[in-house]
Amino acid sequence: MSDTNAIGLHSGSASDLAEKLNELLANYQIFYMNVRGYHWNVKGSNFFELHEKFEEFYTDLLAKVDEVAERILPLGHKPVHAYSDYISLSRITEAKDVHDGEACVRGVLEGYQRLIELQREILSVASDADDEGTASQVGDYIREQEKTVWMLGAYLG
């Protein structure tokens, strides 16, 4: 009897990866709702530009929510799907009653920084497990989000 899953990864490694990916999924879900809230509630002289930018961000985050959840399935595990799980697993906390444009941008910046931190951890676990699929996915996310972090930092001055 083999100790590998359907895609040829060691079952223990796949389980570790699924656990980390569920943590990532939780962070993406909480961050998505935060950015959605910034989009709805932002006020100030940069309203039009930030309102549009936040929509761009949350649209991308929602796509990644689906991609992360669907990466957990080939590993032989189930993605979490309850907000109570998201809140307990997430390093990103809920942003409530944030409407100042600069505060919203800082919230987006901090959210991306937390995602990059977690995705680097996953990249290491995936590399150790010879899981090219997960490594490639989170590597692409990191590359893209590092540029976003730089741009948000430049925006804030």
What is the average pLDDT across 117-123?
98
Note the pLDDT of residue 1. 52
pLDDT 10s digits, 30-50: 999 999 999 999 999 999 999
* Sequence-distant contacts of 81-89: CB under 8 A, at least 24 apart: 83/29, 85/22, 85/26, 86/25, 86/26, 86/29, 86/30, 87/26, 87/30, 88/26, 89/22, 89/23, 89/26, 89/27
pTM of the model: 0.96
Note the pLDDT of residue 78. 98
**Is 148:72 a contact under the CB 8 Å cutoff?**
no
pLDDT 10s digits, 63-107: 999 999 999 999 999 999 999 999 999 999 999 999 999 999 999
